Every structure is written in C-alpha cells, then in structure tokens.
C-alpha cells in the first residue's frame, strides 16, 4: 500500500498516530519513568497535578504519569500477547481446515464451537484462578479466546481467496498445498489478520481491565490501566482524577485501535471487507 | 422515547416507595460486603454468618456486649466452683425457638455434644476442648465440667460458634436458621439479601426494629452509591478511603471503634533467614508504622508493638521497642550476614489492608536492601499455602480472635515460633485466676514476643461504620463478629 | 440431509462430553481446599478432615467424574457444597435475573443500534455518519464497570430516579424488579448497541452496491425504497448472527455489571462459587451454560441447513 492511500484516509492517520503515541509512551516506560512506579510515599499522596507530578499522585503517593506509562505498557502487552497466541495457533488451524477439509476441518470447527460454547468470562476467571492472578495469566486467559477468532478469519479468508484464479494457476503449476498456503494464501489473508489483530488487541485491553476489576488481572506492584481504574473506583467522588486519567486513556487507546483497524481494512483490501465476524467476536 | 417515559414513571414509583419507608421507621437495611454461604454459625467460619445471625437469630448461654464483656444470655446466672472446673448455669424460663419448640437444658447439652463430636465441623472446636462433660441437672439447670481451668470459657461460650441450637432444627440451620433470638429468619434471596423479622414471643426485651434486611454489596464503589442514594441505611465496617465522603455529610454518622484484629507482618520463624533474631529485628526497624497506618488504614488503625489489643486492660505499649530506623536495620542485616540484604516473598490475602500494607512495606524494605516479591492470592490458596502448609516467607493478616496471644505458645502454629519460656508463661496464664498476676503474665508475654520480633507488629484494625444520622444503638466496637440489632432504633 | 443432521448432532454430543471433561479436571486442579475454606483460619485438622469426607472429596477423581456425569444424565446436577441447596434450584433463581437482564440489554441494543446503523448508512460519508460512528467507537471503548458507575452516579445518586442496585424478586414487586434492571441493562447494552450500529451500517453499505439494488433502482424505486424493500432484509442476516453470539456472551458475561449493581445473577453465582471452591456448583453451572449455548448453535445451524442447502455443502 502506498503512503498516499494511508494519508487519504483521515481515520487511519488519527488512529495510527494516537496508537503510536501511546505505544511510544509505553515503550519509554521500559527505560525511564519520571518516578519509579514502586516508590510509595504516603506523605505526598493525592497530590494535585504540579510541576513535579504532571498528573498528580495516587493513593499511595505514586506518580500518576509514571503509572499511566507503565500501565499502558502492561495493557498493550497483555492485549498484544493474547493476539500473538491467537494468531500463532488460530491461523495455522484455520489454514489447515480450509486446505485439507474433511476430518481436519471438522475437528477445527468442533474446537471452535467448543471454545465459543464455553462462557468466556467464566473460563477466563477459572484460568486466572487456577494459575494465580497476574498479567501473564491474563494473557493466556484472553489469548485462548483469540484462537477460534483467528482460525475462523483464516479459514474464511482462505476459502474466499482459494477460489481466485491465481490459486488455481498455482495448483496447476504443481505447487503442494502447504506451498500454496505459504506462498499465496497467507500473504493474501494477511490484511484480514492484521485488521482482526487490531480489533482483538483493543478487546484484549478491555478484557484485561475487566479481569483487573474482579481482581484477577495485573497485580501490584505492577500496574495496568485497568488496575488503576479499579483502584480508583471507590475514590471517584473524592479524587475523580485518579479514575478519569486511566479511564480516558483506555477509551482513547481502544478508539484509536478501532479507527486504525477500520482504516486498515479500507486501505489494505477493500475486496475482502465483507467477510468478517470481527465485530462479533467479543 | 418509550425508554425515557418508563424511566420517568419508574422514578415516580420509587419516590413514593422511599417516602413510605421513611414514615414507618422500624425497618433497617444494612449493607454487607460478603454474602454468607450458609447461615449456621456453628458449622462455618465465615464472618458474614455471624454478621447476620449472631445475637439476632441465635443466642448463646452468655452474650458478649459491645465492649467485649460477658453478660447473661440464655443463662440467667451461673456459679463457678472454687477450683474453676465446674460451671453451673441457671437457664431462663419460657424461652422458645422460632419454630415454637421450647428451650431447655437438653438443648444446651445437644449443642455442646454436637460441637465436640468426632465428626463435628465446628470451625472453633478447639476453643471448647477444655469441656469434659455437660450434664443436665433439671430442665432449667445445666452443669459443665472442665478438664482444666479456662479463663476464657464464659467468653467463648458467648461466641457465635456456641449458640444454642435445637435437635429438631439443627440440621437445617444452614438455609433455614432457627434460634431463640429477638429476630426470626424470614427469607433469603440468594445473592441479594437476607431478611429477618421481629420474633413476637421473644423471651427478653423487645427490640425497636421490626424488620432488618442485610443487603450484599461486594463493590466498595457500589456500597458508597447505595449509602448516598439511601438504598441502604448503613454498613458496619466500611472502607476507610471512602469515609471522607460521609464524614462531611450531615445525613450520615461515621462510628470509629475497636476490633480484636491485630494486623501483623507474619514471619515464618522456622525458615532461614527469619530464624535469625537480627534479621527479624532488622525488619522491625525497617517498618515505618506511622506510614503504614496512614497509608493502609487512612489513620484509623492503632499502632501496636506486640500482639495485643490496645483497648485491653492488660495492654502494654511496646511500639517503641524497635523504632523506625533504616540505618540500624542495615547494620543488623550486616551483622546477620546479609550486608547486601536478601530477597523474600510476601504472600498477600485478598483484603485491602493487606494489599496496601504489602505495597508500602515492600517499598520500605527496599530501602534497607530487602527485596520483597509481592504475591497476591485468593483466600482458598492462601489458607492452604500459608496456613496449612506453612509454605511462605512473609504474609500480612489480621488475627481477629480476642485475647489470642496464646498462639505464640503453639510451636505448630503457621509462623513457627518455638520458645519454651513463652509456652511456660502461657500455661501459667491459663491456669491463673488472680487478676493482678494475670495482667503481669500477659504483659511479660507481650514484652518477650515484642523483643523477639516474632512478627512485624503493625496496627490494630479499626471498625469504621457508616450509618444514617437518624439511627442510634449500633455497636461501635467489634469485640466479636456480628451486627447486633437489639438496641438499634430510628430517632427523629 | 439426514447425514448432515446426524453429523451435526454427533458434533454436539462430542462438544458436550469434551466440555464436561475439561471443566471437571480443570476445576480439580484449582489450588485451595474447599473444606478448609469453609472452616477458616482456626479450624482443627480433624474438623477439616470430617468436612472433606462429608463433601465427598476423598474419593478418586475418575470416580467423581463418572458419578457427576451419571447424575447429570439423570437430570441431577448435584448439591452446592457451600450453600447446601440443589444446583438446579440455585441456577433457576439466578436465571430469573440474568435472563431478563440479557434480553433487556439485547432489546435496547437492537432498538438503539439498528436505527442508528441505518441512519449512518443512509447518510454515508456525511457528518451524521461520522458523528454516529464516533459515538459508536466511544460506546465500544468504555470499560463497562466504569460506565456502570457513571450511570449510577448520574441516575441513582444524583437524580435518584432509579435504585443504585440490588434486586427485589419478581413475585414480590414486579415494578421494583423492573426498575432495578434498567441501569444494568443500559450498561450492558451500550457496547452491544455500538457494535450493532456498526455492523448494520457496514452490511447496508455492502448491500447497497449489490446488483439487485441497482436493478430495483433501475426499475424506478427511490434509493430509500429499494433499501427498505431489499437492502435491510438482506443486511439482517449478519446482524442476526451477531445477535446470537452476543446472547451467548451476555448470558454468562454479565458478571462485572452484576457486581457493579450488586445483582443476584448467574455470573456472580459462578464467580463466588469459584472463590469459595464450591466445585460441584461451578461444574454444573458451567456445563449448563455450555449446554444452552451449544444447543442454540445446533438449532441455528440446523435451521440454516434447512433454509439454505448450499450452506451445508460449503461450510460444514
């Protein structure tokens, strides 16, 4: 895709810019935050925004800006690692189902049904409980539900693409099924996967917030936007900014990702647009 | 548009409902953070059970009052033999259970036989292990024989775990509790609320309230909103961080009282490096108690220097034993062979005071070179890991049993403190009836465990209730678990 | 055809059996002793052991799995270990809250989402479209516990129009029961409505470029007429699919909203049961949910198969 096509799409520009901004903020927190996030100081808690603390401090006197930076990193990490799990397992499954059909397809579809049939929230809670609460286990709990989503996207995309002329030509030229999948199918469904990836990423960030709300997501002294929001919930009437800052951060990030996803879909491959269960798969 | 209209209609109905409720003023709705799994206080440890039924639905031979003193309950009086081994109770007459059956000495015997039985599932069975025999003298008299003197006997039989139940109904008490108290169980909307109503034929003084609902609200924010909106009339122990909302509001009163909860940084004394006195002393010096009290309890907790409740007459202030002194802590660590500090885990149960204290302590310990890894756990695995298997370095927990310094004399207890001197002193304390000598012994015990820095002694939990300003008669303190309704009334 | 139905039913049964096994053994791995949890910190080992035996925790896992399965086949879902009531009764009680809550949320989301989606598609590319789609983005992006709290503060605490939460049983006061479901349904409906609006808009936009719309217009219908007669109906298929998925998600996914509004719903029942290690309750409740969702999917699939023979060739 050309840069002109990107620039011609204002939503995509806004979405990508905002996402990149937050991603940058998050990455910087790997090396530097204004204050260490574990540094508790009760004497300076609930400070209003000032030159020292741009966004003020929280109930333990920690710097809110540092927490937002680090929390964004955790939220992004959980969301994107869950996508990696979904893509890594789901896409090969979906491709295999489409290429081989028969029993393979039946098994993949049954697995898909099974995962959709499980009450997602209950299973996520069970997994988090089983493995102990924490960000890394939230990744698994969320990632499992990304697997059938990407399997379906890959399978659906492949079924559409494989009827196209060049696939038939490749088959005539004697390429093996795996060869076709690798050389022709995967690149063609890549755009679908990327689009779905941005959507699942945003859903993952929301899911992490939900898990954190019931106490099974990220655990202190680590922080995430969801955890910050939960900790501030009971203080909302006294110190609303503690809740507004992470809350708005989540809203903006999710919107940015969704807008970027919509834009990418338009720009990358308008032809395949109609085939998506994207929005449904929450 | 239809939605808007129905909201308007609904709100009109609601306004009507609230004004009606205000006019009656003999009903109360109390917010409770946890729903009890069952309502039988003699077969489960959940605090939420006692909150609903203790002294309301069920009564014991004695009852504990707001200040922790023992008062007559179903027993109108008692005599104690000189050797402290025989207790003879005279029982109140004309008492009936809520199903109409009468209360007699046989019910007392049944209750205690059930607690002490082989297959008993009473959570506090050990508290009653000194009872050797319960015999019925006549329908209104019952005699207990103890195997050894037990100063806490009268207190313990007044707890929720030893309320009197009837053989006819005991098996169903979990879902359909039947006791002798001023309030009878009316209904339980699972997941939502329990409703009690005044029991007409109650033998004692009639309470002012006719109906009480316990509404289960787990989310602190939701509880705040419910209080503000008047959907509930009060709650007995609310999150300290939200209290400023109510302290400044004339429609509410905030009651600050005491509990029996010594909150400690429990230390695995049997496990290196915590078996070294210097290490424990270093940790004690590294703890900034004031900061923890402020940060974790918003200043409502009371600092403690040993394992003893500050409001108890035997209390000795030992908070100065190891003052906050990071420099001294580092020196002691170096003496113990850890000039660069060490790493340890801190396993935290799912309660706000533990999670907050944990983060603060981790930050404080980092300054003296002790690197704590925080492990947040749910109750079930915490109980298993820390309490049953003693698989932990450090944990934070509030010990809510009253007068429980005796746990330091049990070498098998989870924090693994084994000191023969403490064990001997505790044995003497249990066998002593002379008040002055008891005080001396209790204070000696407090001093030894403080100096041994057995655990990090943090603070005594406070009880912080939020109630409608027009209510009176609520317990301020929590000497035992329970929200006792008998004296609560609406005043104008 | 028969072959297709048989294969589909076989798949359904396999799904159920695998689900049952997964749930059973996953729960057996949960750390923490149920008996110790009930008796708490000061319980003596003997009391814990006595309770473990009462709860039947001492027999081997396979035997317990077998008797659980056999019980369910005979319609006996067992007794809750902490609440000591039949699981079926507990679930039925909670369904009286969760089912209406889910249905209200879906009705609201359809009533709000579809018209907005149609409106946006009608004004495709104009300010209305952009504005509505931005609103839809916000709707999807707000964490629902946060939105629920904001709703409560506005309508329950400040305006006092509605209760902050809780639930009075239908039998006692249907109006009060209804009132207490208004805010939670709104909180649940917001993201669903936003999703539906987007899906509806996209589907309509896709449909509008189809041949039959062009043909209809060529026959002299206005664009609006053509869309109404042919477009909306065709666009409803993806919408229905999504509604089905949303229902499956909501029926057990309301736990967070139930917490914010302290509603006695199914999600909270299961969540509490997990915390209290009430294994029988968690297992049976989960499998009932799996059963409900798979049964719905089975019926939908079979219906599709009957309506559209091509589908069963192509996708199954």
Q: How far apart are CA C150 and CA C148, in angstroms?
A: 5
Cα separation, C271 vs C276, whole angstroms: 9
Full residue range of the structural domain in which residue B293 is found? 259-462
Cβ contact B57:B185 at 8 Å: yes
Residue pLDDT, tens place only, C102-158: 899 999 999 999 999 889 988 888 888 889 988 898 998 998 889 999 999 999 999
CB-closest option in C142, C271, C293 to A125: C271
- Model confidence band, residue B426 (pLDDT cutoffs 50, 70, 90): very high
| Top-tier CATH class for A3-277 | mainly alpha
What pLDDT is stored for residue B467 in this prediction?
97
- Predicted local distance difference test score (pLDDT) of residue A280: 34
- Residue A278 backbone phi and psi in degrees, to 5: -40, -60
| B239 in any annotated domain | no
Helices B435-451 and B420-431 cross at an angle (nearest 10°) of 160
Lowest mean pLDDT among A136-140, C163-167, C252-256: C252-256
Q: What's residue C73's pLDDT?
A: 86
pLDDT of residue A125 exceeding 60: yes
More confident residue, C310 or B159: B159
Q: Is C144 part of the contact surface with chain A (CB cutoff 8 Å)?
A: yes
Domain C87-315: give its CATH code. Answer: 1.10.3720.10
Cα distance from A165 to chain C (closest Cα, Å)? Answer: 19
Over range B437-452, report the average pLDDT: 96
**pLDDT grade, residue C252 (50/70/90)?**
low
Tell me the pLDDT band of C306, cut-offs 50, 70 and 90.
low
Alpha carbon of B142: minimum distance to chain A alpha carbons (Å): 49
C187 contacts in A (CB within 8 Å)?
A: none
**Partners of residue C136 in chain A, C-beta under 8 Å:** none
Q: Do residue B380 and residue C162 have CB atoms under 8 angstroms apart?
A: no
User: Across chain A, what does the average pLDDT equal?
Assistant: 84
B291 pLDDT more than 90:
yes
Is it the case that residue B311 has pLDDT exceeding 80? yes
Please give the pLDDT value at position A3: 62
Residue B24's pLDDT band (cuts 50, 70, 90): low
Give the tens place of pLDDT for each residue, C261-284: 999 998 889 888 888 888 889 888
C31 and B222 in contact by Cβ < 8 A? no
Strand partners, B456: B265
Q: How many domains does chain B have?
A: 2
Q: Look at residue C222 and tell me whether its pLDDT is greater than 90.
A: no
Could A233 and C271 be called an inter-chain contact, meaning their C-beta atoms sit closer than 8 Å?
A: no
Question: Among A37-51, A150-164, B171-185, which is the least confidently predicted range?
Answer: A150-164
Domain final residue, candidates B155, B172, B189: B172
B-side interface with A, Cβ within 8 Å? 219-221, 224, 239, 241-242, 244-245, 291, 294-295, 350, 355-356, 358-360, 362-364, 366, 374-378, 381
Q: CA of A232: which chain B residue's CA is closest?
A: B221
Facing residue for A279 by CB, picked from C145, C153, C198:
C198
Q: CB contact, 8 Å: C19 with chain A?
A: yes
A40 and B360: CB-CB below 8 Å? yes
Question: Which tokens is A69 given?
Answer: 């930076």
The burial of B360, by beta-carbon neighbours within 10 Å (0-12 exposed, 13-18 middle, 19 or more buried), is given as buried
Of all residues in chain C, what percent carry a pLDDT higher than 90? 19
Structural domain boundaries in chain A: 3-277
Q: Looking at the domain assignment, is residue B10 inside a domain? A: no
Mean pLDDT of chain B: 91
Task: Give contacts of C149 with chain A, Cβ < 8 Å.
Answer: 233, 236
Q: Of A117, A214, A282, which is closest to C293 when you measure between CB atoms?
A: A117
Residues A49-79 pLDDT 10s = 999 899 999 999 999 999 999 999 999 999 9
A148 pLDDT above the threshold of 70 = yes
CATH for B336: 3.10.105.10
Percent of chain B with pLDDT over 90: 79
Distance CA C44, CA B125 (A): 7
pLDDT digits (tens, 9 = 90+) for A225-241: 999 999 898 899 999 99
End-to-end Cα, chain C, rounded Å: 12
Give the per-residue pLDDT at B445.
97
Taking alpha carbons only, the member of A163, A157, A155 closest to residue A107 is A155
Among C144, C58, C83, C50, smallest CA distance to C282 is for: C83
User: What kind and span of H or E run contains B181?
Assistant: none
Of A110, A119, A202, the CB nearest to C11: A110
- Per-residue confidence (pLDDT) for residue A214, from 0 to 100: 84
Residue with tokens 């359904």: C12
Q: How far apart are CA B25 and CA B28, in angstroms?
A: 8
- Which residues from chain C sit within 8 angstroms of residue B125, using beta carbons? 43-44, 46-47
Residue B68 lies in a domain: yes
pLDDT of A22 reads: 95
ipTM, two decimals, is 0.83
Contact B124 C42 (CB under 8 A): yes
Average pLDDT over residues C170-196: 91
Average pLDDT estimate for C187-216: 82
Stretch C158-174: mean pLDDT: 89
Query: Is residue A133 within 8 angstroms of chain B, CB to CB?
Result: yes
Residue B325 belongs to a domain: yes
Q: Do A117 and C149 touch (CB under 8 A)?
A: no
> Are the beta carbons of B253 and B235 closer than 8 angstroms?
no
Closest in B38, B120, B218 to C259, CB measured: B218
pTM of the model: 0.87
Asked which of A132-136, A176-180, B307-311, C48-52 is least confident by mean pLDDT, the reply is: A176-180
Q: A126 to chain B nearest CA, in Å?
A: 12
Judge whether A71 and A134 are in contact, CB under 8 Å.
no
User: Quick check: B99 pLDDT over 90?
Assistant: yes
> Taking the domains of chain C in order of start, what are their residue ranges?
2-73, 87-315
Residue-wise pLDDT for B126-184, tens only, equals 889 899 999 999 999 999 999 988 888 999 999 999 999 999 999 999 889 999 999 99
CA-nearest residue to A37 within chain B is B363
Question: What is the model's pLDDT at position A2?
Answer: 54
């Amino acid at each position: 895709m050309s840069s002109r096509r990107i620039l011609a799409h204002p939503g995509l520009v806004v979405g990508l810019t905002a996402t990149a901004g937050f991603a940058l903020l998050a990455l910087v927190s790997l090396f530097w935050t204004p204050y260490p996030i574990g540094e508790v100081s009760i004497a300076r808690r609930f400070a209003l925004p000032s030159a020292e603390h741009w966004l003020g401090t929280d109930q333990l006197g920690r710097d809110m800006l540092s927490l937002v930076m680090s929390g964004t990193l955790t939220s992004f990490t959980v969301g994107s690692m869950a996508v990696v799990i979904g893509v890594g397992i789901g896409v090969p499954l979906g491709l295999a189902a489409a290429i081989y059909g028969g029993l393979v397809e039946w098994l993949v579809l049954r697995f898909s049904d099974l995962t959709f049939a499980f009450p997602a929230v209950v299973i996520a809670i069970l997994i988090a409980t089983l493995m102990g609460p924490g960000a890394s286990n939230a990744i698994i709990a969320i990632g499992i539900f990304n697997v059938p989503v990407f399997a379906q996207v890959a399978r659906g995309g492949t079924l559409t693409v494989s009827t196209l002329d060049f696939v038939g030509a490749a088959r005539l030229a004697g390429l093996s099924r795996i060869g076709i999948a690798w050389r022709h199918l995967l690149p063609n469904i890549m755009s679908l996967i990327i689009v779905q990836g941005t959507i699942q990423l945003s859903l993952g960030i929301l899911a992490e917030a939900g898990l954190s709300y019931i106490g099974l997501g990220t655990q202190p002294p680590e922080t995430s936007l969801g955890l910050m929001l939960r900790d501030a919930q009971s203080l909302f009437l006294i110190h609303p900014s503690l809740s507004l800052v992470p809350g708005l951060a989540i809203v903006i990030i999710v919107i940015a990702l969704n807008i970027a996803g919509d834009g990418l879909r338009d720009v990358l491959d308008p032809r395949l647009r109609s085939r998506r269960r994207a929005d449904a798969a929450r | 548009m239809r939605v808007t209209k129905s909201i308007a209609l609904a709100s009109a109905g609601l306004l009507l409902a609230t004004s009606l409720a205000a006019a009656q003023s003999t009903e109360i709705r109390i917010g409770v953070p946890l729903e009890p799994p069952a309502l039988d206080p003699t077969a489960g440890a959940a605090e939420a059970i006692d909150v609903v039924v203790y002294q309301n639905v069920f009564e014991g031979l004695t009852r504990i009052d707001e200040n922790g003193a023992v008062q007559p309950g179903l027993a109108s009086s008692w005599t104690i033999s000189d050797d402290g081994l025989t207790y003879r109770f005279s029982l109140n007459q004309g008492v009936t259970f809520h199903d109409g059956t009468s209360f007699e000495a046989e019910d007392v015997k049944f209750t205690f036989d059930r607690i002490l039985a082989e297959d008993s599932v009473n959570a506090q069975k050990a508290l009653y292990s000194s009872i050797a025999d319960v015999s019925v003298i006549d329908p209104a008299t019952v005699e207990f024989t103890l195997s050894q003197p037990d100063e806490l006997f009268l207190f313990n039989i007044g707890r929720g775990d030893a309320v009197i139940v009837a053989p006819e109904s005991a098996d169903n008490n979990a879902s359909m509790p039947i006791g002798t108290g001023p309030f009878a169980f009316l209904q339980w909307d699972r997941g939502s609320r329990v409703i009690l109503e005044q029991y007409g034929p109650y033998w004692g003084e009639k309470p002012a309230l006719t109906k009480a609902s316990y509404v289960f609200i787990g989310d602190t924010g939701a509880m705040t909103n419910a209080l503000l909106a008047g959907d509930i009339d009060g709650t007995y122990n609310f999150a300290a961080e939200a209290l400023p909302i109510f302290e400044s509001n004339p429609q509410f009163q905030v009651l600050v009282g005491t509990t029996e909860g010594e909150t400690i940084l429990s230390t695995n004394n049997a496990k290196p490096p915590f078996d070294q006195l210097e290490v424990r002393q270093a940790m004690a010096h590294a703890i900034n108690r004031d900061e923890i009290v402020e940060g974790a309890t918003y200043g409502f907790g009371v600092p403690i220097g040993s394992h003893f409740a500050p409001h108890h007459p035997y209390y000795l202030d030992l908070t100065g034993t190891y003052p906050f002194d990071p420099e001294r802590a580092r020196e002691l660590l170096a003496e113990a062979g850890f000039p660069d500090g060490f790493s340890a885990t801190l396993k935290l149960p799912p309660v706000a005071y533990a999670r907050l204290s944990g983060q603060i302590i981790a930050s404080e310990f980092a300054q003296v070179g002790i690197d704590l890894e925080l492990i947040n756990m749910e109750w079930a695995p915490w109980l298993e890991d820390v309490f049953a298997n003693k698989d932990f370095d450090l944990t934070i927990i509030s010990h809510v049993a009253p007068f429980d310094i005796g746990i330091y004399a049990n070498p098998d207890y989870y924090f693994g403190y084994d000191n023969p001197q403490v064990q001997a002193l505790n044995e003497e304390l249990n066998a002593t009836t002379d008040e002055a000598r008891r005080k001396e012994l209790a204070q000696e015990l407090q001093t030894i465990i403080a100096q041994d820095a057995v655990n990090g002694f943090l603070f005594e939990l406070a009880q912080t209730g939020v109630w409608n300003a027009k209510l009176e008669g609520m317990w301020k303190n929590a000497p035992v678990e329970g929200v006792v309704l008998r004296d609560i009334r609406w005043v104008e | 055809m028969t072959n297709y139905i048989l294969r589909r039913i076989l798949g359904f049964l396999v799904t159920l059996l695998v689900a049952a096994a997964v749930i059973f053994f996953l729960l057996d791995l949960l750390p923490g002793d149920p008996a110790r949890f009930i008796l708490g910190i000061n319980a003596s080992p003997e009391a814990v052991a006595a309770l473990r035996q009462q709860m039947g925790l001492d027999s081997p896992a396979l035997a317990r799995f077998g008797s659980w399965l056999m019980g369910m086949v005979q319609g006996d879902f067992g007794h809750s270990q902490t609440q000591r009531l039949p699981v079926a009764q507990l679930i039925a009680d909670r369904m009286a809250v969760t089912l209406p809550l889910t249905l209200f949320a879906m009705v609201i989301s359809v009533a709000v989402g579809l018209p907005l989606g149609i409106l946006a598609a009608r004004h495709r590319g104009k300010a209305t479209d952009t504005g509505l789609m931005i609103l839809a983005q916000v709707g999807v992006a707000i964490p629902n516990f946060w939105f629920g709290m904001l709703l409560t503060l506005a309508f329950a605490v400040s305006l006092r129009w509605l209760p902050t939460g809780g639930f009075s049983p239908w039998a006692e006061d249907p109006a009060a029961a209804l009132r207490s479901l208004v805010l939670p349904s709104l909180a649940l409906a917001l993201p669903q409505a936003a999703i539906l609006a987007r899906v509806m808009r996209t589907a309509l936009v896709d449909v509008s470029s189809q041949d039959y719309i062009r043909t209809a217009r060529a026959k002299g219908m206005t664009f609006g007429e053509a869309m109404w007669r042919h477009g909306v109906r065709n666009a409803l298929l993806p919408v229905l699919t999504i509604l089905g998925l949303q229902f499956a998600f909501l029926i057990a996914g309301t736990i967070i909203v139930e917490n914010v509004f302290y509603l006695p719903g199914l999600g909270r029942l299961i969540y509490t049961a997990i915390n209290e290690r009430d294994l029988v309750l968690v297992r049976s409740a989960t499998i009932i949910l799996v059963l409900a969702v798979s049964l719905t999917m089975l019926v939908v699939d079979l219906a599709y198969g009957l309506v559209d023979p091509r589908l069963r060739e192509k996708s199954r």
